Amino acid sequence: MTSYKTMKKLILFVLLLFTVFAVGACQDTEPTEPTIIPTEPTVIPTEPLPSSPDDFDTIEGKVAWYIDHMTIEEKAGQMIQAERTTNGGQSGALTNEVTLYRLGSILNGGGNVPGSNTVAGWLQMVRLYQNASKYTPQRIPLLYGVDAVHGHNNLLNSTIFPHNIGLAAANNPELMYQIGERTAYEVAQTGINMNFSPSIGLIKDVRWGRTYETLGEDPQRALGLISPFIEGLQMYNIAATAKHFVGDGYTTYGTGINGGLDRGNSIITMDELYDIHLPLYEEAISAGVKSIMISYSSINGLRMHESEELITNILKNELGFNGFVISDYEATNDVSGSTFEQKIINTINAGIDMLMEPHKFDQTHQAIINGYNNGDIDISRINDAVSRILTVKYEIGLFDENRVVPEADLRSAESLAVARQAVRESLVLLKNENNVLPLAKTDNLLILGPGSNNLGIQSGGWTLTWQGTESYNSAGTTILEAFQAETEGNIYTDINDIDQADAVIVVLAEKPAAEWFGDSGNLSLNGQTAYQANVDVLQAIASTDKPVIVMLVSGKPLLVTNYINNFDAFVMAFLPGTEGLGITDVLYGDYDFKGTLPYTYPRLLSQSAHTMLDTNYNESDYLFPYGYGLRYQS
């Protein structure tokens, strides 16, 4: 006769087999209501639990209750952030796996969006995952993270603000708060509660593809912008993430991926670390940032993800960071260790609390359990990590049954006004011979160049997709459309009409790109990250006697030394986002220029790795020095 225990195991096997087939069948679909997967608990209480977390008045007491009552399987799950299933069928976390592995967090990587890329589509998806967490033994809600680095940039028809480098040019703390708050407002509408922003690093070598994610090269300017930005981003119960700890913008060319800068090695002395880089994170901690993400890069040859000295001893103990530390996307791949399990162990022991393991979350779960069982990860380290994560979940109200999600309100009048202001304040006037700017609205204009009429180019990387896209069919106003909307004269776009124009506007541009692919070895106008059309159009108008106004839409300063003598005016526009009317606000003179260069603009390629902090810095050697920017009014 079949025993009850044997029959129970048989039923469990059949249910798990059914789940495997169900997961495989729905890889290309939206997540569905979870199947409840019965699992035998590791510890079976012999008597009723003495209390519940709700019996405690303090977050500390509630968290301590969970630490006392969670199994190692539950604790391991809280330390993992998995990626949702992609539309292309790539492996990822379904709702059932949230329940099975007791996952603490889910993320959407860049470009990983629900089938319906709308507020309603996102909200439905997030709620399905949150519902799955209710079937875990402790019913701990999920953190759901997304890279909303210049607005809710994965969401179609959201408000896209200028990237950080433009905001550093604007250097307006109050505006930083407003941008953070408006971003949080649109993120909260989709049910998301964690944002992998802001990036608060500094830039040393402008060839880096992530130059536009930094706050420039001056720590003093950056320090004034970090706190208000974080305070705004953490409105609506969103957990912001300061990144990438630490020194990620100081890598040496040739040490990164494909011989570039990204994920490379930074040579930094302890004095430089304390004088230049760590104060940025002290500022973020003072602002109450909930999470800090570790950099892919190394410092003096040691991967940041395995630096116990910097993560545990300095960030947590010395600087007093009480939030949780999260790894970057699959960053454990670069950590030392002969096996994946050993890499996970080394990462956790360095002080990282949550592991962003998008597709190996099941292996990560087992690796943490094995590390504990084998004595390679002390329970105190695990308890510390889980305590930090649960504390943040309480602080942002995830346990609140009445947590409010704002109604859908993308691109509100307030959001668009803030974005437009950010665009006009970020523009930097670098040259204005004979006061050709401002333009008169009655002028007839010829507008040319690859950046003149493309929202994807205007917005750059991390817009709808990880690397950005030229095919950005979303709401917004291109530079050309802005001029068409504001002019009282005629707008031409064909070079054959140059004789009809009073002035020529050329919008040079860099291709949309992000980390890794965005590195430029030569900073050329037609190099690997830019367009041949930049050079073609400049050559085509080289002999014109019309005033030539050149704008550069780019995440980094491309070399224009060989061409600038032919420019009557030169405007650095960085990556302004979707609100092109902020550009015409200034070029037509309704507002004056306010922006100043947040980095030193090189004259030569050999100057690309210098900053105004260098002891041998001589501003006259460069095309434009740090902090340069002209005005209409002296």
The residues annotated with a catalytic role in the active site are 328, 515
| Contact between residue 83 and residue 107 where contact means Cβ atoms under 8 Å apart | yes
| Contact between residue 215 and residue 150 where contact means Cβ atoms under 8 Å apart | no
Rg, C-alpha atoms of the chain:
26
Furthest C-alpha separation in the chain = 100
Q: What are the strands, taking DSSP E only, across 562-601? A: 569-574
DSSP state at residue 316: I
Buried-exposed string 449-482: b where 16+ CB fall within 10 A, e elsewhere: bbbbbbbbbbbbbbbbbbbbbeebebebbbbbbb
What is d(CA 591, CA 424) in angstroms, rounded to the nearest whole number?
8
Strands 355-356 and 80-83 turn out to be parallel
- Closest to 629 in 3D by CA, of 593, 601, 604: 593
DSSP percent split of the chain into helix, strand, coil, nearest 5: 40, 15, 45
For residue 422, the Cα-to-chain-centroid distance in whole angstroms is 18
What is d(CA 349, CA 147) in angstroms, rounded to the nearest whole number?
26
Preceding amide of 198 cis, omega within 30: yes
Tokens 């041998």 belong to which residue? 616
- One-letter amino acid of 362: D
Q: What are the strands, taking DSSP E only, across 466-502? A: 491-492
